[in-house]
Copies of this chain bind each other. A is one copy, B any other.
Amino acid sequence: MNSFGRLFKVQIFGESHGESVGIVIDGIPAGLILSAEDLLPDLERRKGGRQKGTTPRQEADFPIFKSGLFNGKTTGFPIAIFFENNNTRSEDYNKQRSIPRPGHADWVAHQKFGGHEDYRGGGHFSARLTTGLVAAGAIAKKLMPDLTIEATVTEIGGETDLERGLQKAIDAKDSVGGIVECKVNGVPVGLGEPYFDSIESVLGHMLFAIPAVKGVEFGAGFGAAKMFGSQHNDAIENMQGSTVTNYAGGIVGGITNGNELVFRIAIKPTSSTPKEQFSLNWDTEQMEHFSIKGRHDLCVALRAPVIVESVTAIVLADFFLLEQKIKKII
């Protein structure tokens, strides 16, 4: 299913080369001042074509509100937003149809949906669907004005010097992966539960929903596996719960402890590498060489930070509502 959340809930829809993509956001309290302008900065950050290494496909990505606003404020009912798809070049995809692109969902989608899937531009699998998530995230951020959520690319192709990582890809005429780190400040103590509703579980769920994410870690993460307990344990140093270190990434027992929330995601290299590949042709049933056409990001990690921030905001808004940190009107 394509919905997520308990009290702050999103339902996505759309295909990359269909008529539109969009989202319905349910659970936004009434009375929040909101307009398309509030969404534009984050939507702009998500766009391709703005920086070296990203797709030249350019969409206006202007959010068209279809419901839930009245007199410039939220009404307490669902907000439906859609984004038109104008700048599509589907013919690129028809040509390649007989060879399921390695790393892409072509083959599994064909099997699962019996050939009925919209394969153009990845259809519903496309990262274009994250447009809606970014819109929802911008609204969620507005609901929690005391939070600062900041995600940055910290590594490209194994290099922390990002220019160098990207140049490596350009030189190799290949795509590369990367790491995005996110830090959240101003998080109240007490969000989350042990077990299934732990912050790691619910946030991990949403982070893995972002296309191309293959790893998620909180605090010291995989590094923690190499540490001693006496090193990893964060000593509490005052009655506010501040800790001397923050190897836990701000989450203990699944619950926020008021320290900075820190986590990282691993993003695989863009599947659509410009490099020639060797794969199956399902018409001829033979392996063959082929190249991917279309306009693609060399490193999707470059466009990921705002998406990471957005899903983080969506998840936290849900926890804020669950813990009654956002007041309802009566």
Interface residues of A (CB under 8 A from B): 1-4, 6-7, 9, 11-15, 18-22, 24, 26-27, 30-31, 65-71, 73-80, 82, 100, 102-105, 107-109, 111-114, 116-118, 122-125, 129, 155, 157-158, 169, 172, 174-179, 188-190, 193-198, 200-202, 204-209, 211, 213-239, 241, 243, 247-249, 252-257, 266-273, 275, 277-280, 282, 285, 287, 301, 322-324, 327-330
Cα A267 to Cα B175 with chains together (Å)? 31
Asked if residues B76 and A13 are in contact (CB atoms below 8 Å), the reply is no
A213, chain B: closest CB distance, angstroms: 7
Q: Which of A18, A247, A275 is most buried by chain B, counting CB atoms within 10 A of its CB?
A: A18
Given contacts A27-B1, A235-B280, A239-B282, contact A228 B157 (CB under 8 A): yes
Known contacts A14-B80, A18-B70: A112-B230 contact under CB 8 Å: no
Contact B116 A222 (CB under 8 A): no
User: Are B217 and A124 in contact, with the CB atoms below 8 A?
Assistant: no
A209 to B200, CA, bound (A): 7
Contacts of A202 in B (CB 8 A): 205
Pairs A–B under 8 Å by Cβ, sample size 6: A12-B195, A13-B26, A14-B78, A76-B112, A198-B208, A223-B266
Given contacts A13-B78, A124-B75, A241-B107, contact A268 B232 (CB under 8 A): yes
Residues of B within 8 A of A124 (CB): 67, 75, 77-78, 194-195
Q: Are B114 and A67 neighbours in the complex by a CB distance under 8 Å?
A: no
Contact A279 B236 (CB under 8 A): yes
Cβ-defined partner of A158 (8 Å) among B77, B103, B225 = B225
The one of B9, B237, B275, B287 that contacts A3, using a Cβ cutoff of 8 Å: B9
Complexed CA–CA distance, A200 and B256 (Å): 23
Instruction: For A105, give its contact among B21, B30, B194, B238 (CB under 8 Å).
Output: B194
Residues of B within 8 Å of A254, CB to CB, are 105, 125, 209
The one of B14, B74, B220, B222 in contact with A222, judged by C-beta atoms closer than 8 angstroms, is B222
Question: Are the CB atoms of B229 and A111 closer together than 8 Å?
Answer: no
User: Once the chains are docked, how many angstroms separate the CA of A122 from the CA of B233?
Assistant: 16
**Is A31 a contact of B172 with CB atoms below 8 Å?**
no
Q: Report how far A102 CA is from B257 CA in the complex, Å.
A: 11
* A244 CB to nearest B CB, Å: 8
Cβ-defined contact, A235 with B287, below 8 A: yes
